[in-house]
Chains A and B, each alone.
Chain A
């Protein structure tokens, strides 16, 4: 069970859009529509931003959107704001034989 692959960092100016990729295999990302995304500010617990590939929990701005194609999922932040600067982690269900989950390597989003 290897960690999902994310870019180490992405950056953008306020108002721009950034996209974070999350690459796995057919045993996790590609096999299930159970990809979630978490935002983590320094010293804080992660916060759920997207689940089931593209669903937003109540209270999450619609600037955050998710998608998936094959073994790669993506998180797009539109209209980037200063408070979006944080680490982002993807997570996928990976329950081929027994239920399990795997996280991504994490991406630092910098607002220029």
Chain B
């Protein structure tokens, strides 16, 4: 059974870059059956899909965030990462990592709150 755990800075200044990592355990991140996704949830609001990286390395992003998002994989550490540039207060949210296979978002991390504030 997969386990995912987010980590990274909980406070980011406006205009800077948000960086988060998701450590995967219980399986290989290189498994052909899985892709790896990021989803966020502003306080008191709904879920928003950010994007995902396919096991081949191909990436797919939410069109509304595409110009600012980069998702990458570090196979040596069995983890994947999210970078979101030029952040504003609107990017304040709980960020979740999740697995994506033929069953969408079946395993989730516990989530990490990122606050954008000076």
Contact = CB atoms under 8 A, between A and B. Distances in A.
Interface of A: 1, 3, 34, 36, 38, 45-48, 51-52, 57, 89, 91, 93, 98-106
Contacts of B109: 45
Interface residues of B, number: 19
B60 to A, nearest CB: 5
Given A3-B46, A45-B111, A100 B63 contact: yes
B105 A36 contact: yes
B106 A57 contact: yes
Nearest to B45: A106
A63 to B, nearest CB: 20
Contacts of A106: 46-47
A1 B63 contact: yes
A46 B47 contact: yes
Contacts of B67: none
Contacts of B105: 36, 38, 46, 48, 91
Interface in B17-60: 39, 46-49, 52, 60
Most buried by A among B103, B105, B111: B105
Given A46-B96, A100-B60, A34 B46 contact: no
A36 B96 contact: no
A91 B98 CA distance: 14
Contacts of A57: 103, 106
